[in-house]
Amino acid sequence: MNSVLSGFLPIWIITGLGWAAGRFRLLGDGAQQVLGRFAFTFAMPSLLLLTTARSRPGDLAQPGVAVFALSLLAVFAAGLVAAGRLFRRKRAEQAIGAMAASYVNSANLGIPVAVHVLHDTSFIVAAALFQMLFITPLILVLIELDVRRDAGRRLPRMLQLPLRNPVVGASAAGIAVAASGLRLPEVVTSPLTILGGAGVPAALFALGMSLTGRAAADPGERTERALLVTLKTAVQPLLAYGLGRWAFGLGGHELFAVVLCAGLPTAQNAFIFASEYRLDTALPRDAVLLSTLLSMASLSLIAVLLG
């Protein structure tokens, strides 16, 4: 339990500081939007570029990553259908809802938990790479298809997405560097490292500030939040366990790593994406907070049963 708690503690502290800054107006009225845009435009792309540039795409070719990918995609599809059919969300918000139900916090929480619980970060890095290369672009394309409604311009805008969207563009640039086998010079990596290091704190701080304007959810919204958080904290790790054990024959430490990674809570990226595209931020904000709170117990249970 203490190993899991040590990974969560920085998240709650930074989010709490953001709440205090928003509650007492320490940074002014527009600080939340500015921090969110800074994270989306500069900090997260810097982190993504460095991570993908130093990655080895061949690491994705392992059974554990396939199990993680299948469980994530299945829950993503379930979240997408639920947001559209049950809660009548527009397409862009369906993508955010599906992201809230499936996209794991692999960076600022996954890595500390992997260090303390798994004593090995290799799998969490491979899982994070899968999300960056495949799930993030998918989510942004789904949002763009709804936000940009001019049908005649959709295909050109999709092709231009790496140039217009810093998150996709940075990931594409990092993949190109990794594929070429080049090493970025220190004059490039040094400022990117500094900027990338600010991504998680800025996103969590903005998330904390958003809590000061939180309104009570109606019964329908509470049902939607409960469903998405259940998908994230219970269904996704159970599905990963079933696929890993009975479909792929995984066991021991490998199965433990897959299930633990699948059980990680919603990443704060869902809140940042919704904020950047002027979508409903209340749903991803609450999903991040509730899944993070509940996964303290669920991850501890996974560690006890499988670790």
Q: What is the pLDDT of residue 63?
A: 94
Token pair belonging to 114: 């992997």
Contacts of 143 (CB under 8 A, 6+ apart): 91, 92, 95, 96, 273, 277, 279
Q: What is the pLDDT of residue 158?
A: 60
Contacts of 94 (CB under 8 A, 6+ apart): 80, 83, 84, 142
Q: What is the pLDDT of residue 224?
A: 95
Q: What is the pLDDT of residue 113?
A: 77
Distance CA 8, CA 108 (A): 9
- Under-50 pLDDT residues of the chain: none
Q: What is the pLDDT of residue 208?
A: 87
pLDDT tens-digit readout, 212-223? 866 666 777 899
Phi, psi of 277 (to 5 degrees): -95, 15
Phi, psi of 181 (to 5 degrees): 80, 10
What CATH fold (topology level) applies to the domain 2-306?
Na+/H+ antiporter like fold (1.20.1530)
Distance CA 169, CA 162 (A): 4
Token pair belonging to 276: 């950047």
Q: What is the pLDDT of residue 93?
A: 95
**Could you give the 3-state DSSP secondary structure of residue 281?**
coil
Where along the chain do its domains lie? 2-306
